[in-house]
Amino acid sequence: MAWQKIRIEIPEGYTKAEREQIGQDMLVMIKDRSALGTGVKRSGNKVKTYDFPEYSEEYRKKKGSSRVDLVLDDNMLDAAQVLSTTPKSILLGYENGSKENAKAEGNQIGSYGRSPNPKKARRFLDITDEEKEAILAGYEEPK
């Protein structure tokens, strides 16, 4: 099982407390975006949004909805945390080896307990440059 984490680069100069709060704001943005059925794909240095692939017919019947939002019970997304910060970055993700990390991996690679299937992947653990800039706009620019 691969450790599900993402390092987000930020400008140097924020205090440790500010970096922790920025990380929390990033997690809220990821959760809110996921609730809308939108994920992210990395292409080179750019991160772009896309609509999650639909649920299988079997899962739709069980769930009662075809709208993909990754927050059926919130456990997986709620378990994401600020793992660490440095003066230039914030590491977001899951406790390595945890049940929630395994669920996140299944979503990220589209395996859901089977072989990975990129067509079924619901990548959510990242933010776009626009999302990052919107979050950072709420903080005083570091000196």
pLDDT digit string (tens) for 28-46? 999 999 988 899 998 888 8
Q: What is the average per-residue pLDDT within 19-31?
A: 97
For 109-121, how does the pLDDT look when each residue is reduced to its tens digit (9 = 90+)?
A: 999 888 999 888 9
Q: Please give the structure tokens belonging to residue 55.
A: 């649920």
Q: Are 82 and 14 in contact (CB under 8 A)?
A: no
Measured in residues, the chain has a length of 143
Element (H, E) at 112: none
Q: What is the average per-residue pLDDT within 116-136?
A: 94
Identify the CA nearest to 122 among candidates 37, 47, 31: 37
What is the pTM (predicted TM-score) of this model? 0.87
pLDDT band for 72, please (50, 70, 90 cuts): low
Distance of CA 29 to the CA centre of its chain: 9
Contacts of 34 (CB under 8 A, 6+ apart): 69, 70, 71, 77, 124
